Structure 1
Amino acid sequence: MAEAERINIDDPEVDMDLGQRLLYRGKLFTGEVEEYLGGARVSLESYVEGLPDGPAWEWYKNGTLESEMTVRKGRAVGVAKRWHPNGVLASERTFSDDNGAMLSVREWDENGQPTKSWSKGES
């Protein structure tokens, strides 16, 4: 299997069309898109036909993982996680695999203490 094409979001040949789809050299892009800040990679997302589709990660500038999620046709699916800068889990959001609806949210403070818990259908 061929390696996915990888581009930098700041490449001058990257653009968006009116439907907010990612274009590279005038064509809908399929591959991976990186973003750098001050020389440090801060995000990596997968795209299919111009839409986010597949795994996506964000890092703090120091290289610590900030978030990870999966996207299908531009919508979050499954479990999305975010971490505090100290590496402690900050949130976990669960999305429906069929339409991206949020099903649950759990959040923690920087010490790992729960601060929020919500599930669809709770009153």
Structure 2
Amino acid sequence: MTLQRIDIDDPEVEMDAAQTFFYAGVPFTGEVVEYQRGALVSLITYKDGVEDGPVKEWHTDGTLNSEGTMRGGFPVGESKKWHSNGTLAARMVMSADGLRQLARAEWDEEGNLIKEWHAEGA
């Protein structure tokens, strides 16, 4: 099944105070993309107007900036962020319900671990 894909700058796009995403007045299900200077910089998946599915962001040069998964508006599982030079900057692990952070690690631009944290029992 192919998801509908729309541009964030489409005039039919709206978001309410609760951060529900609408397209043509209806809660949107599909992918929303954003471009800057002709380069794809973000792709967010929505279900019934709420972030639900893959989320990716790119630097304007096309290198990956971050990726993760949302469920019902909450980050779940593993997400990662990269420095502009391509080196891993951060890795976060969230619980399956998105309500609890289980682990986080951060690296500098040279790849040196600078912070690491794990929830007790995780």
TM-score for both structures, normalised by structure 2 = 0.95
Partner in structure 1 of residue 110 of structure 2: 111
| Displacement after TM superposition at 1:99 (Å) | 3.5
Partner in structure 2 of residue 64 of structure 1: 63
**Alpha-carbon distance in 2 for matches of 1:100, 1:84:** 26
Contact 2:92-2:103 at 8 Å conserved across structures: yes
**Alpha-carbon distance in 1 for matches of 2:47, 2:19:** 13
Partner in structure 2 of residue 88 of structure 1: 87
Gap regions ≥5 residues in structure 1: none
State whether structure 2 residue 30 is matched by structure 1 residue 11: no
| Displacement after TM superposition at 1:16 (Å) | 1.1
Paired amino acid for 1:114 = L
Contact 2:74-2:97 at 8 Å conserved across structures: no
Moved over 3 A (4+): none
Aligned residues: 121
- Of all paired residues, the percent bearing the same amino acid is 50
State whether structure 2 residue 23 is matched by structure 1 residue 24: yes
Gap regions ≥5 residues in structure 2: none
Paired amino acid for 1:74 = G
Partner in structure 1 of residue 44 of structure 2: 45
